[in-house]
Structure 1
């Protein structure tokens, strides 16, 4: 398939943002079935005036399900996200294509940083649905009610990933031992300042 942009009828690059991929309709049940078996952080929004959103944190982004509804006579706003399933992030795309057994591009896509697929898999296996960072990532994805917000979130997640690149090799999966961080006493007021008088 090479760089064609459609990978075996499952994914295609989205015009919404450079790091966003659409899951084609025939592949959505397969992706959702895989997501249902994973221990990843999830978030969702149900606002009567916005699309229903479900988000799963995955690698450097995640998966976003958008369900729009409107009366037939009301046209969609220009910035509205279409209903569907979106993959946000190059790492999330690479991980999904690998676990689903989809032939993927052999070279990096335009703008894609090099990543180690084995390190992506190890990081995913070590992921926790209770991790504050992953919960925040899922919640951030669940704010994408329109195109500008999705572009902003995709860019923010890409920038965060660029600032902490995924290291290759077995050492990347294990944290280096060191002194434990000192707990901060958040339940006690400061001894000086405005609260102490």
Structure 2
């Protein structure tokens, strides 16, 4: 009987010890830092710095410019020159056709005589004339008649007041005497001038 009571007392004691240990374990779990309370979590979140995320600005669309074609350089096109009609006076004025000749009419041992003959072959009167000639053999003119003579090889003969005009088909002649530059009188002497053909 006494052994039974001792066993029961021992069981009750063990249960009491186990209960006490369970209470201690429970209390220690309540005070453990591994499980922070809601208040501490909120405080820690409030203590953290808050950063605002700024939104990137929207890209402004660029205005579109229509591409214009570059004009090609134009080639220099030939410009038509205005047609100028000839003056009526120039069109109506015929050219002067005067046959100009140098003629040897005689000679002596040292001298010769000659003429310049102007024959109007045109259809209009020639008013005013001037002719030129030159001797290749260095012949020299000593005197001349019916002409205004100038120069010294080459020579120039111009009209006088009374023989300035040469009518169509008419002839004007002036004479001279010269000193020969060689054994013979000068031949094939060319006479030139603005009226000569």
TM range (shorter): under 0.3
Taking structure 1 as the reference length, the TM-score comes to: 0.18
Bigger relative CO (Cα 8 Å, ≥ 6 apart) = 1
Higher helix share: 1
Name the larger-Rg structure.
2
